[in-house]
Structure 1
Amino acid sequence: MCERAHTGTALSAGQYPTSPEGLTVCAVTGTRKPRRATVHDVAAAAGVSRGTVNRVLNGGYVSTDARAAIEAAIAEVGYVPNRAASNLARQRSQAVGFLALEPHSLLLEDPNIGAIMLGANAVLSLADHQMVSLVIDSDRDMQRVGRYLSGGFVDGAIIVSARSHDPITRLIAEIKLPATFVGHPPDLDRSIPFVGIDNIGSSRAITERLLATGRTRVGMIAAALDRDSGADRLAGFQQALGDLFDPTLVVDVPLYDYAYGVKGMRALLDREPALDGVFAASDAVAAGALETLREAGRRVPEDVGLVGFDDSSWALRTQPPLSTVHQPARDIGRNAAESVLRQIAGDPVESGVLLDSPVVWRQSA
């Protein structure tokens, strides 16, 4: 660490002696450290006032000649703006929180959450904003993250997997934090925008396609019914079946998870051994169901047609590959980030954006 040199000049705390060349001298190592260029240096080199330099740095108006002179001076003296000080003055953090309300295990395994995160980060990075990942897996996490958001450490938030009556939803509305939801919780404050897909319509479409293959006893492994995505996928399944819908052929599991696909499929086969079609609420659930069907000696698609949802990497890992619904996860992340940035800037945004989610038909059905 460089300490103040012992010279005949009295120095205030935190001040270091400089050489005639404008270098800071380290008394401990004897090395010379280049002094950081300041706004004063830029102003002197450009022949303008410090206020004119600050207007350029903050996006204000100056004449074309003055701007050109200041930009040349910045390059000449090697000035780098102090973003931390600027953000403090504007009461901005230049950061956006990415809130995933999922168990830690699922967060690491779910390719959709990862793709949404990467899409959001790409947009935030281009806007010089840092993405802060905040995982909420417990009541303690909820309280901690709530304090963090209330403390002004982020300028906005993207919320993934919110459930009905989540405290975090109410908090964001109360503190008026610029935010966008991925999905549309039923009790969502109408002032908070969302980005998602038509889960009902897409689930209805893939179930109708499955029924068109001649399946007559079709069940569903319905996951995450405490979220809009899970509840809507079940609603679409029921709409497609109409009078053929049998509630005993719906198994409810808590998460979009491979292990719950295994358990859910075992429960379905116990209820209806003659089952010949299955809609799994996600590709991970469908992959678990496929493993159980194999163990039971049921061939896919010859004996049982199986479809999933998401068109994630799970859909291509299985043999046969899964028929599924394409969820544009990266585009969802990008749209959510753009929505938050527009709100931070004070620009108008759409209250809700639904992206296309077409059926992708493969060999599993």
Structure 2
Amino acid sequence: MVTNPGRRRRATIHDVALEAGVSRGTVSRVINDEPYVSAEARIAIEAAIERVGYVPNTAARNLVMQRSQAVGFIVHEPHSLFLEDPNIGEILLGANAALSLADFQMVCLIIDSERDTDRVARYLSGGFVDGVIVVSARKNDPITRIIEKLGLPSAFVGHPPDLRRLPFVGIDNRSSAFAITERLLATGRRRVGMIASALDRDSGADRLAGFTDALGPLFDPALVARVPFYAYADGVKGMRALLAAEPELDGVFAASDAVAAGALEALREAGRSVPGDVGVVGFDDSAWALRCQPLLSTVHQPAAGLGERAAESVLAQLRGEEPELGGILLTTPIVWRDSA
């Protein structure tokens, strides 16, 4: 038989046992941190592991345990927005930190098309992950139904209306939008519009509802520019539409900081000063808020905390614990800066 001379043979439990002069069963108990091993044997085995260069075969162990030791991180956004939106990155990093502490791997799965949906559905059905964290799920999302059908431990960041009893972590978007709009109105603005994004998911729809609640009789549906994504380019487009609809506009609530940054660019184009002519507020308190000139008044969304709590929820379910009824809601204080 011809062997590959360039590839070193992987050390096994058998090699460790021979080196330490003990049985394979004793080595297995040390590797799995089980009791009933003498201190002398444990020291000898640990030294033998170091000498022979043994690394546990986690793939084989996971096969026996029927665990992958991995959690999927599913994002329903265009690829470009995945890179542009700092909130998604913060959610991902928060989730990864919690998973890393528990020695779990994160598998990123981006859904940008129907083909992606089919591919991810097959992947989940194949048992390649033990649980999932889902960001930006829409109503009537087939991935949500697959997760429900498989009974996968899961946590959604956000709360789509058809989520039923699946666990979620989120914020009160409606109340937060109400609070920031009310604060904007308190500066004396009376012709206030909104660039409403992502109305096909709970966060966007709830932010529009909170804006509408706060304006009450001042609400004018003609002063709502509807755009598809929480993106800078959509902010530019939406702001241009609002200025065309109402040249005397004096206040704007943008559904995200990225959208607000785009709105500021369109206002500069139009020769409108901020906050002198138009007060602008956003939502997220992301890196976009501090890139803006003037600095952006906004709602602080604890994105890293959302990811961390979602991961902790999935890990708790994997330990056999029941998820919290009614979901987990984090607080969202207003951060008031110069743009309004």
TM-score tier (shorter): over 0.9
Question: Relative CO higher for 1 or 2, CA cutoff 8 Å, sep ≥ 6?
Answer: 2
Q: 1:34 offset after TM fit, Å?
A: 6.0
Q: Deviations over 1:299-339 (max 9, x none)?
A: 11011100001111111111111101111111211221222
Q: Deviations over 1:208-259 (max 9, x none)?
A: 1111111111111111111111011111112222232222221211111111
Equivalences for 1:1-365 in 2 at 5 Å?
Answer: 4=2, 26=5, 35-46=9-20, 48-63=22-37, 65=39, 67=42, 70-190=45-165, 192-351=166-325, 352-365=327-340
SS in structure 1 of the partner of residue 80 of structure 2: helix
**What runs of 5+ residues in structure 2 fail to find an aligned partner?**
none
Q: 1:52 offset after TM fit, Å?
A: 3.5
Q: Deviations over 1:12-69 (max 9, x none)?
A: xxxx6xxxxxxxx94xx8xxx7653322333445554323332343344335635555
User: 1:62 is aligned with what amino acid?
Assistant: Y
Task: Tell me which moved more, 256-265 or 55-64.
Answer: 55-64
CA distance in 2, matches of 1:337, 1:307: 30
- Residue 12 of structure 1 is matched in structure 2 by none
Sequence identity of aligned pairs in percent? Answer: 72
Q: 1:149 offset after TM fit, Å?
A: 0.6
SS in structure 2 of the partner of residue 134 of structure 1: strand
CA distance in 2, matches of 1:109, 1:345: 35
Q: Any conservation in 2 of the 1:39–1:53 contact (CA below 8 Å)?
A: yes
CA distance in 2, matches of 1:98, 1:307: 30
Q: 1:80 offset after TM fit, Å?
A: 1.4
SS in structure 1 of the partner of residue 163 of structure 2: coil
SS in structure 1 of the partner of residue 332 of structure 2: coil
TM-score (structure 2 length as normaliser): 0.92
**What runs of 5+ residues in structure 1 fail to find an aligned partner?**
5-15, 17-24
Q: 1:72 offset after TM fit, Å?
A: 4.4
Q: Any conservation in 1 of the 2:30–2:37 contact (CA below 8 Å)?
A: no
Where in structure 1 do 4 or more consecutive aligned residues deviate above 6 Å?
Answer: none
Q: Any conservation in 1 of the 2:243–2:249 contact (CA below 8 Å)?
A: yes
CA distance in 1, matches of 2:29, 2:169: 36
Q: Any conservation in 2 of the 1:56–1:62 contact (CA below 8 Å)?
A: no
Distance 1:136 1:241, change over 3 A: same
CA distance in 2, matches of 1:34, 1:307: 60
Q: 1:262 offset after TM fit, Å?
A: 1.3
Q: Any conservation in 1 of the 2:316–2:322 contact (CA below 8 Å)?
A: yes
CA distance in 2, matches of 1:319, 1:279: 16
Q: Any conservation in 1 of the 2:10–2:54 contact (CA below 8 Å)?
A: yes
User: 1:295 is aligned with what amino acid?
Assistant: E
CA distance in 1, matches of 2:319, 2:58: 17
SS in structure 1 of the partner of residue 68 of structure 2: coil
TM-score (structure 1 length as normaliser): 0.86
CA distance in 2, matches of 1:59, 1:347: 23
CA distance in 1, matches of 2:14, 2:164: 48
Q: Any conservation in 2 of the 1:41–1:77 contact (CA below 8 Å)?
A: yes
Q: 1:205 offset after TM fit, Å?
A: 1.1
Q: Deviations over 1:148-180 (max 9, x none)?
A: 110111111111100011000001000111111
- Residue 8 of structure 1 is matched in structure 2 by none
Q: 1:348 offset after TM fit, Å?
A: 3.4
Q: Deviations over 1:109-131 (max 9, x none)?
A: 11111111122222222332221
Task: Tell me which moved more, 241-250 or 142-151.
Answer: 241-250
